[in-house]
Amino acid sequence: MSAPERTFHEFFRETCSRVPGEAALVADGERFTYEELWEKSGWLAKSLLRMGVKQGDRVGLWLPNGAPFILSFLAVSRVGAIGVCINTRFRSDELSYLLAHSGLSVLICPDRFLDIDFHGLLREVAPGLRGIPGGGCATSEIPTLERVLIVTDGPPPPATASFAEALSSGKALDGAPLASAEDKIEPGDTCLLMYTSGSTAAPKGVLLKHAACARKPLVLAERLRLRPEDRFYTAMPLCHAAGLFSGWWLAVAVGGPFFTHSRFEALLALETLSRERITVERSFPTLVKDQLEAYDADRGAYDLSHLRTGLSSSLSPDVFELIESRLGPHQYVNNYGFTEATGPVCLSSPNDPPEVRWGKMGRPLEGMELKVADPDTREPRETGEQGEIMVRGWAMMKGYHDPPPGAGPAFDASGWYHSGDLGFLDREGYLTYLGRVRERLRVGGENVSPEEVGVFLRRHPDVEAAEVFGVPDERLDEVPAAVVQRKAGASLPEGELLAYCREEIAGFKIPRHIRFVEVMPLNSSNKINRRKLRRDMLDELGLS
């Protein structure tokens, strides 16, 4: 399905014109129609313009899932500014880096959320924050910051302004400046600045175009065979690429209602799926496993028969089978993608057979090219041969914001983005993802993919999670080391796990060091914190 290039606000406005009175958002007890979201986002957009926000300015969205996030995202896109999604789990070190690097002029955040004092964190990062006449602010730590809008039920803290007041006061403002601002936005302009997770390196700021943000959900909706009567749910954070690109935006693509919560609780998710008759869910492995566990504890309490399809990534085949056998006859699909491609690049279809949906990442989306090449020579690999995954096409980013000195170009001379991921294509064009190219180990001259070994370890019936990485070795330069989390109630000894390895994989791939943990540490993006695992292993081995 080819779609004309347009801006994100044009994409949203087109849906509003088709289904103005239909439910658009249900979040933590609040309900909005598409018309209401358009109207209220316009109020906020007019207030942002009055504050001096202009095209190309960066506005930070440090917000949990809910109406303030969605209204802010829409308002920012309508004035031609750039939304900067900030993870709500960030703490002072991460926040300090991102606020300084992004060059925000406005920050929108709650006063408090759950047990997090957002304003206190901001004060920690910017102790010099002070108010200035006219409701603005200034601080030497973040010289570009001019205003902080606080989502709060009470008076805003010092040096900040009220989000609710900015929203309500915009209602009476003249709409002509907003109409003029909207007309000036081009599809090729930057819509979004989103930071990579930084699980193995410092986060990079990815600049995404309006045209890609507006087209991607339509292409995904076609592959997933979505329809206007579908009802969507995700508890994935909207500040993440997955929750935003293939969560909320999918609902907008077909004009369906989007349900979400500001926090994830398995029981709350199941109650919503059942009560609201959700048909499409966007999730990821940790959430899926929590839902399965809660469902098994009280199967009769939930009716999930209407759940038609779900979208996740990196789910193992055994978890896919559990989902489809326990949660109803729906078709979960895998996908492969990254922030730099505005989300999914490859996606299975619900009509694909289980062995394809469960074990592979799907085929490239319409208009996206993918090839597998030798990581060193860049020569194309044959079908079935492993190599680096390279991508190009309309959904790719404009580039990185303020890349570090010495960083190479984001794309090669032919326009290919080198993902750093390892995989292969089969004869039907389906992608299998194997891990990261740069994490290849050289074990006595042999190449080893840590992810390949990790996948193998996770197949053991007593293993819940496993991560593999390299550690220095005097004779072999480096060797595989593994951190393993046993399944609940399992008493898997190291010797048994090593025997399992010796029966199935080459000796040079077998971990030389194994460390068992009760639970895997997670980073702020809910991904396993591999840097911490490796650091702890090196400390334990006396190699740090």
Q: Could you tell me the CATH number of the domain that includes residue 533?
A: 3.30.300.30
Whether 416 has a pLDDT exceeding 70, the answer reads: yes
484 and 495 part of one domain = yes
pTM of the model: 0.84
Q: Quote the mean pLDDT of the chain.
A: 92
CATH number at residue 251: 3.40.50.12780
**Same domain, yes or no: 389 and 521:** no
* Confidence at residue 3, expressed as pLDDT on a 0 to 100 scale: 61
What's the confidence (pLDDT) of residue 521? 93
What is the reported pLDDT for 289? Answer: 81
pLDDT score of 89: 80
Q: Which amino acid, residue 458? A: R
Tell me, yes or no, whether 524 and 426 share the same domain: no
Task: Report, as an integer, the average pLDDT of 491-517.
Answer: 93
Mean pLDDT of 41-69: 98
Q: What's 155's domain CATH number?
A: 3.40.50.980
Q: Mean per-residue pLDDT for 68-93? A: 94
First to last CA, the chain: 53
> Rounded to the nearest 5 degrees, what angle is found at the Cα of 532, between the Cα atoms of 528 and 533?
75
Q: What is the largest CA-CA distance in the chain?
A: 74
- How would residue 1 be classed by pLDDT, with cut points 50, 70 and 90? very low
Q: What single string gives the DSSP state of each residue in 1-52?
A: -------HHHHHHHHHHHSTTSEEEEETTEEEEHHHHHHHHHHHHHHHHHTT
**Structure confidence at residue 329 (pLDDT):** 60
511 CB neighbour count, 10 Å cutoff = 24
| Burial of 431 from C-beta contacts in 10 A (0-12 / 13-18 / 19+) | buried
Q: DSSP string covering 63-127, please?
A: --SSHHHHHHHHHHHHHT-EEEE--TT--HHHHHHHHHHHT-SEEEEESEETTEEHHHHHHHH-T
AA identity, residue 219: V
Q: What would the pLDDT profile of 11-44 be if each residue is shown by its tens digit? A: 999 999 999 999 999 999 899 999 999 999 999 9
- Reported as a pLDDT band with limits 50, 70 and 90, residue 99 is very high
Residue 347's φ and ψ, nearest 5 degrees, are -155, 135
User: 371 is written with which tokens?
Assistant: 């090839």
Q: What is the pLDDT of residues 441-485, one digit of tens each?
A: 878 767 687 888 998 899 999 999 999 999 998 878 789 999 999
Q: What is the mean pLDDT of residues 92-109?
A: 92
pLDDT of residue 328: 66
Structural domain including 122 reads 8-195
In the chain, % of residues over pLDDT 70: 97
Distances (CA, A) of 472 to 372, 454, 469, 477, 516: 29, 18, 10, 6, 20
Quote the pLDDT of residue 445: 62
Residue 251 lies in a domain: yes
26 & 118 share domain:
yes
The structure tokens listed for 53 are: 């926000």
Query: What tokens appear for 395 in the block?
Result: 């959904």
Domain count, the chain: 3
Summarised one tens digit per residue, pLDDT across range 168-225 is 999 999 999 999 999 999 999 999 999 985 444 567 899 999 999 999 999 999 999 9
Instruction: For residue 147, give the nearest of 106, 98, 96, 100 by alpha carbon.
Output: 106
481: which strand partners?
469, 513
Where do the H-state alpha helices sit in 224-328?
241-243, 249-254, 266-275, 285-297, 317-326
- pLDDT tier at 81, thresholds 50, 70, 90: very high
- Whole-number pLDDT of residue 380: 95
Q: 474: Cβ–Cβ under 8 A, 6 or more apart, which residues?
A: none
> Who contacts 128 (Cβ-Cβ below 8 Å, separation ≥6)?
139, 140, 141
Q: Is there a single domain that holds both residue 124 and residue 176?
A: yes
Lowest-confidence pick of 2-11, 41-50, 277-286, 326-335: 326-335
Give yes or no: residues 232 and 125 share one domain.
no
Q: What is the pLDDT of residue 270?
A: 94
Residue 4 is predicted with a pLDDT of: 76
Q: Please indicate, yes or no, whether residues 390 and 496 belong to a single structural domain of this protein.
A: no
Task: Read off the pLDDT of residues 327-361 as tens digits, 9 standing for 90 and up.
Answer: 766 788 999 999 999 999 999 999 999 889 888 99
